[in-house]
Amino acid sequence: MTLRVYNTMARAKQEFVPREEGRVSIYTCGPTVYNHIHIGNARTFLSFDVIRRYLEYRGFDVKFVQNVTDVDDKIINRANEEGRRASEVAAEYTEAFIAAMRALGVEDPTVRPKATETIPEMIALIERLISGGHAYESGGDVYFSVRSFPGYGKLSGRDVDEMENQARIEPDSRKRDPLDFALWKSAKPGEPHWPSPWGEGRPGWHIECSAMSEMEFGLPFDIHGGGSDLIFPHHENEIAQSEAATGVTFANYWLHGGMLQVDSEKMSKSLGNFLLLKDVLEAYPVPVIRLLMLQTHYRSSLDYSTDRLDEAATAYERISNMVRLARWAQSRPPAVEGAPEVERQALERARTSTQERFAAEMDDDFNTAGALGAVFDLVRQANGFMSEHEAALSAADLAVLGTAADLVTELVGVLGVPLDTSAQGPALPAGVVTLAVELAGYDGTDAAEAAEALLTLRASARAERDWTRADAVRDGLAALGVTVADTATGARVTIGGV
């Protein structure tokens, strides 16, 4: 099976062929560390985390590089406002970024280069551009000469002449052409600065990604990622810098994530409509946040709302419940006679086709929404099977259910969505413990053990024909949403009808 990815450069889905068999090089632009990241930023980072995880699941050896922009106007402005050093502000938010990414279950990149630690490589690249006639020094600044690179505009589909017509002429500009962009900026008083052949200064934003990707991978590398808001000018400028300097293609595939929106408007710091990832992490479990994001294809825009998060919470509960109930059923003695064979076979077929559908959807430009749809279908079918035959599941039924639960766990795990797969415990409400303490003299804290104590009490009450006590157990559990089912091999508790 081939993996196809939508390449922004080609404006089409293409078969993905890595430059080196079995290995994938991915570069994605990281954050500018002047504040905590919002959940829009988190969506893009999460999308590339899942792309990476799937490539690894498919057996590729992935090298994943993501930069941290730790010197920038926004950082300097924030430092000035707070009377701090820019490096302090950057260090604080770099740490916060790494912590929030880890909390969201995003794997650390293989390499996380910082702009301030890549200055010599950036200077060397700028020197190559100057000597090749693609950049020029002007009053301590260095600019890239856009007209010197014929391919400018090819990623974003813009025409240089049209851009020139619409360009705003900045007064006192040191640029020769309004389209040119800064590679190096001379330092203003109080700003962080580094020595360079053009005097003390600091790099422009775009140059770091060109320098770092070449340094880490050599060109061309396989996949360049980022949010769609970076296509122009940032990625266009990266291409111009790297291809003008080296004469070779910069990246083979350009993958861009859609924007997370609130009320149909892009979430952004400047619009003030943002929610910080760290605050959302406090309010919702990680698997729920990830599910919400992954239920939409990474290239589509995603409308964020707490209603949708609540829906994702319900979906998560449905998946985890299925796995828990299957584990619970497996922990019980099997019935001699189980479900009709045709039904068991139907469930087994559903399991096999789910694995195939999941892979086909993910191979189709990482369609996590479709892949999750396949998982949900299996969950629905397994839940139906369990609720239909809850009273009598044979060893063969339990084996099929067990493999279905294994598969569901594995597939959502590929998407970085952990399930609580413990056989008992969280599936049963904590009230079961209280009830067992009251009725059965249970003195532990484990809900599954407590349920067992209650069932034992009920069995002995029934043996003694003490219906009042037996019913007290059944009714007490029913009040907690837990049903007692009498099966051929003894009583079991079930939750939510399954």
Q: How far is the CB of 227 from ligand AMP (least distance, A)?
A: 2
| Spatial contact of 111 and 27, defined as CB atoms under 8 Å apart | no
155 near Zn ion, judged by CB under 5 A: no
Q: How far is the CB of 294 from ligand AMP (least distance, A)?
A: 14
Judge contact between 90 and 75, C-beta under 8 A.
yes
- Does 18 help bind ligand AMP (rule: CB under 6 A)? no
Which listed option, ligand AMP, Zn ion, none, makes contact with residue 209 (CB within 5 to 8 Å by class)?
Answer: Zn ion
Q: Are 448 and 420 in contact (CB under 8 A)?
A: no
Nearest residue relative to ligand AMP (C-beta): 227
Instruction: Return the one option of ligand AMP, Zn ion, none that residue 42 interacts with (CB less than 5 to 8 A, by type).
Output: none
**CB-based contact 103:276 (threshold 8 Å):** no
Q: Which does 41 bind (CB under 5 to 8 A by kind): Zn ion, ligand AMP, none?
A: ligand AMP
Tokens for 308, please give them: 């949708």
Measured from the CB atom, the residue of 29 and 302 that comes closer to Zn ion is 29
Say if CB 144 and CB 129 are below 8 A apart.
yes
Work out how close the CB of 300 gets to Zn ion at its nearest, in angstroms, rounded to a whole number.
22
Using CB under 6 A as the binding rule, the residues of this chain from 223 to 252 that contact ligand AMP are 226-227, 229-230
- Considering only 7, 8, 25, 41, the residue that binds ligand AMP (CB under 6 A) is 41
| Residue number with CB closer to ligand AMP (44 or 409) | 44
Check binding of 32 to ligand AMP (CB under 6 A). Answer: yes
- Interface with Zn ion (CB under 5 A), residue from 24, 29, 393, 419: 29
Window 190-209: contact mask with Zn ion (x via CB under 5 A): -------------------x
Q: What whole-number distance in Å separates Cα of residue 134 and Cα of residue 122?
A: 15
Q: Which of 36, 114, 266, 327 binds ligand AMP (CB under 6 A)?
A: 266
Q: Which residues of 235-245 are buried (b: 16+ CB within 10 A; e: fewer)?
A: bbbbbbbbbbb
Residues that bind ligand AMP (CB under 6 A): 29, 31-32, 40-41, 43-44, 226-227, 229-230, 257, 259-260, 266-268
Residues that bind Zn ion (CB under 5 A): 29, 209
